[in-house]
Amino acid sequence: MVLKYTYFYSIFWPRLKRNKLALVGGVVVLALFLISLMAPLISPYDPNEINAWHVLSAPSWQHWFGTDELGRDVFSRVLYGARISLKVGFVAVGIAVSIGTVIGLLSGYYSGLVDATLMRLVDIMLCFPAFFLILAVITFLEPSIWYIMMVIGLTGWMGVARLVRAETLSIREMDYILAARCIGCSNARIIFRHILPNAISPVLVAATLGVAGAILTESALSFLGIGVQPPTPSWGNILTSGKDYIEFAWWLSLFPGLAILMTVLAYNLLGEGIRDALDPRVKR
Amino acid sequence: MTSYLLKRILMLIPLMIGITLITFSVIHLAPGEPVEMQMAMNPKVGKEARERLTKFYGLDKPLHEQYFSWVGKLAKLDLGRSFSSDGRPVLDKIKERLPVTISLNVVALVLEFGLAIPIGILAATRRDTWLDKGITVFVFVGFAVPTFWLALLLMYFFGVKLGWLPISGLHTLGSDNWGTIPYLWDLAKHLIMPVMVASFGSLAGLSRYMRSAMLNVISQDYITTARAKGLPESVVIYIHALRNALLPLITLLGFSIPGLIGGSVIFETIYAIPGMGQLFYQGVMSRDYPVVMGILVIGAFLTLIGNLAADLCYAVADPRIRHGEG
């Protein structure tokens, strides 16, 4: 467990609970989980069912969010799109956080040449406009959701690395690390057993905010036609048809965008809430 | 100051080498040969032609030789020729597009800072009022709005529904014969939506940053001193506090460059603006790898130079840095 049990119940949770916006964010995040789990149960139509009689029909009782250019139900497609977003968000952030944490730990613990090299790598990676780098890599790969997750993860670890490095630098000087070294702990044990658990809380915040960022990136890629490929519904690729039919079908553009907006907003509120709850300097 | 400058410039060298290494490996370690990509467009090309192309691009040589020959050419500003049918040098293509992207982003930056600074000051000076809370809500929503969606909505509203603004390109066809004023007016109308979209992206973050910078400065002792000696509040805020709160924004300006350049792909594609973002997107879609590589390197170099410029401005503006260990 990331946070110690007692700390969680006596400090973290009461503080988070007092932040109403963060709670709302948390509830929306949970709801999204449920929606993606139960998409087949709650969506009124098969998201890929083509209906030539109801092409581009406006929102109605039958089709809450209207239908697209193939007569598919937009509401069902948006529900299924939540699955893709969540999957991309979590896997991409998982990759970014793992790489960032390891690099941050190594660089903070060993300092010297290791630190200098790894931090220059961070500087170099930060020079590339992230979106350019992602696009460039994806150009040379077959479009697939796994590649997208990997690429978003591989281009998004630098912030985490800097955070973890800063934490590691201060933890390294603590007495208990000295004690661990005295009783003959190996470097690996000190790093992963004694430093990592104490350096991880800022990562939690970065990860929550990172999910939001990854969802935005995926939707932009899918919108540009380089991300999730149709017929698999994703919020971004529904918006692509929204652009094509913007003159007669506003609903194709409105609803998937609102879904992205709500999701990203929820993760950001939750992330900021966690940050405040973890920060001892924020007034109670 | 001079030693600081020299140090910073020397630091650029390893970073530039790193940028070329990463660009090169991104392109070459990805599965699939560039020549295959070009072939895929035209299945009629035979085996012999493939070998000729491979040789032409030097792809039959070992990777390190390819890297050095590429960097050698890069040093002479030779980015190779585009794979597209016109086969023009990549550098020419970029040179043609870069001014569009840069000027659009400069306008967007001016707008962004012009709005974010007052918004941040307002939120900080009226902390915890409804105004501050309203601004916070705006900031959170602003963070969450996908720029391409905003672009679509604006397009629908101002372009389709109201018909006030043109939805694509930079000029109306034939506008070059209209005389200067109508021509510029036409250009301005084409630019309104893209500039709004480009600046909206970072407006939220920037105003939040400005707010916290301002709050941070206001709690300092010298502000209390200024108030204690009876200066009017406006002087305290706009003269004493603002100058110090603006300092960190300089660094932020440097950091926002890659985001702006990266973001240009989205709005340039949506609004069909012939800038670098659109060129990059077209390069990506047609797998035109000299163009992709060229823009990737140039984009990163621009960021590097932008960061350096921001740091230097910071040093000029803040004597603590200039006279510090530097």
Output the DSSP codes for A251-272. Answer: HHHHHHHHHHHHHHHHHHHHHH
Instruction: In whole angstroms, give the CA distance from residue A188 to residue A202.
Output: 21
Under 8 Å between Cβ of A207 and A97: yes
Contacts of A139 in chain B (CB under 8 A): 283-284, 287, 289, 292
A29 in contact with chain B, both atoms CB, cutoff 8 A? no
Looking at this predicted complex, what is its ipTM?
A: 0.84
Instruction: In whole angstroms, give the CA distance from residue A115 to residue A117.
Output: 6
Please state which CATH number belongs to domain A11-48+65-278: 1.10.3720.10
Instruction: In whole angstroms, give the CA distance from residue A76 to residue A62.
Output: 12
- Which residue ranges in chain A fall short of pLDDT 70? 1-5, 280-284
pLDDT attached to residue B41? 54
Q: Could you report the per-residue pLDDT of B95-112, keeping only the tens digit for each?
A: 888 888 988 988 998 999
Burial call B140-179: b when 16+ CB within 10 Å, e when fewer: bebbbbbbbbbbbbbbbebbeeeeebbbeebeeeebeeee
pLDDT attached to residue A212? 92
Using CB atoms within 10 Å of the CB of residue A254, give its burial: 0 to 12 exposed, 13 to 18 middle, 19+ buried: buried
Q: Which residue has the tokens 């609004």?
A: B271
pLDDT attached to residue B45? 58
Helices (H), B219-287: 221-228, 233-235, 242-270, 276-285
pLDDT attached to residue B31? 60
pLDDT attached to residue B326? 41
Instruction: In whole angstroms, give the CA distance from residue A164 to residue A97.
Output: 10
Instruction: In whole angstroms, give the CA distance from residue B148 to residue B157.
Output: 14
Q: Which residue has the tokens 């970029």?
A: B94
pLDDT attached to residue A138? 80
Phi, psi of B89 (to 5 degrees): -60, 140
Instruction: In whole angstroms, give the CA distance from residue A149 to residue A152.
Output: 5
- Which residue ranges in chain B fall short of pLDDT 50? 325-326
Distance from CA of A58 to the nearest CA of B (A): 16
C-alpha to C-alpha distances, B248 to A82, A89, B109, B129, B216, nearest whole angstrom: 38, 31, 16, 25, 11
A204 in contact with chain B, both atoms CB, cutoff 8 A? no
B14 in contact with chain A, both atoms CB, cutoff 8 A? yes
SS3 B47: helix
C-alpha to C-alpha distances, A145 to A16, A20, A100, A216, A267, nearest whole angstrom: 34, 35, 22, 14, 21
Q: What end-to-end distance do the CA atoms of chain A give, in Å?
A: 25
pLDDT attached to residue B49? 66
pLDDT attached to residue B256? 79
Phi, psi of B161 (to 5 degrees): -70, -55
Which of the residues B94, B133, B147, B149 would you substitute to probe the A interface, choosing the one with the greatest number of A C-beta atoms within 10 Å?
B149
Task: Inspect the interface and report whether the beta carbons of B26 and A247 lie closer than 8 Å.
Answer: no
Which of the residues B284, B288, B297 would you substitute to probe the A interface, choosing the one with the greatest number of A C-beta atoms within 10 Å?
B284
Distance from CA of B250 to the nearest CA of A (A): 17
Output the DSSP codes for B78-129. Answer: ---B-SSTT--BHHHHHHHHHHHHHHHHHHHHHHHHHHHHHHHHHHHHTTTS
A124 in contact with chain B, both atoms CB, cutoff 8 A? yes
Contacts of A131 in chain B (CB under 8 A): 262-263, 265-266
pLDDT attached to residue B64? 82
Burial call A193-207: b when 16+ CB within 10 Å, e when fewer: ebbbeebbbbbbbbb
Question: How many angstroms from the chain centroid is the CA of residue B242?
Answer: 26
Of A133, A138, A220, which is closest to B146 when you measure between CB atoms?
A220
Q: Which helix (H) or strand (E) holds A167?
A: helix A158-172
Q: Where are the domains of chain A?
A: 11-48+65-278
Cis check for the bond before B258: say yes or no (omega within 30 of 0). Answer: no
